[in-house]
Amino acid sequence: MLDKNIIKWLRQGLGVSLFLAFSFYFPVYAEEKSFEKQHPFFEISFLEIPLCPAIAEEKTEDEDSTIEFFEKKQDHELRVFEYYQLCYRESFEQCEWAAYTITTEKLEKNTSRKDNFRVDPKISTGSASLEDYRGSGYDRGHIAPAADFAFDSLAMSETFYMSNMSPQVPAMNRGIWANLEAEGRKWAERYGIVYVVTGPILENKGYKTIGINKVAVPNAYYKIFLSPIVKRNRETDDLFFAAIAAAYIIPNAKGEKHFSEYLCTIREVEKITGIDFFYKLEDDFENKIETESLQKIFIETE
């Protein structure tokens, strides 16, 4: 057995080591958190909302600024909820994208699922109905997932409108898709905030349909994550702004693969969907973010 004096010495040494470690860690952590709040992403309102026919841009006299406004265009209807937004496509009876943010504060679970699926009364052309899915063999798959909104009962309830549903193969919805949804929450835990844009890939023709409203059954779905982060230069010890992004295209089919095998670039999703994601970012940086995959991208600031 170890001598009592040795044990005492070890305990004291460990205590000093921990004290020194925490004394160093907390000021550094506080500095990084303070710097993080100045991240240029936070100056951009609704960064997660993509550019599509439901949203238009108008240049002002200042070429570097724009005025954003919403338009009701045929087959593209913007639906704004308390904590997320979507663009509804009447011809497919589902949304083509849903966009929202997850923060560490929103990870706290304060409510449980009520499964109160219901027609969305604010879709001007009428949303899909519960009857459309009944007996179809497909799940009423969430685009904006209920679990991402468990921090508030109203927030979760609003994810059960049929405008937020799409016909998903049960094994896919409850397996790889659910795991990918959980990955978004891990990003929020890891990075503090994550911007999420997700939806079905709709622009193909010849879809199978279900129900009296002919709800299209997509062949695949996409999900995009973008998080602002702060990095420290090991040589100079300076802090700098950065970001990390990831995109996935998941087949609407039964399968055994992990979602990481479907990792792609944001640009690939844009080409397939025709949607412009994160268009509010500076062009050079947007191009870097959209053509890299899971790489930390440095943000140049003045």
Catalytic residues: 142
Beta-strand pair 239-251/220-232: antiparallel
Helix axes 266-273 and 283-291, enclosed angle (nearest 10): 90
What span, in angstroms and rounded, lies between the C-alpha atoms of 87 and 276? Answer: 13
Tokens of 27: 């000021």
**Phi, psi (degrees; rounded to nearest 5) at 183:** -60, -35
For residue 161, which amino acid is it? Y
Residues 232 and 181: their CA atoms lie apart, in Å, by: 29
Q: Residue 236: CA atoms inside 13 Å, Cβ hemisphere, count?
A: 6
Phi, psi values for residue 127, rounded to 5°: -85, 175
Residue 153, sorted as left (phi over 0), alpha (psi -120 to 50) or beta, turns out to be: alpha
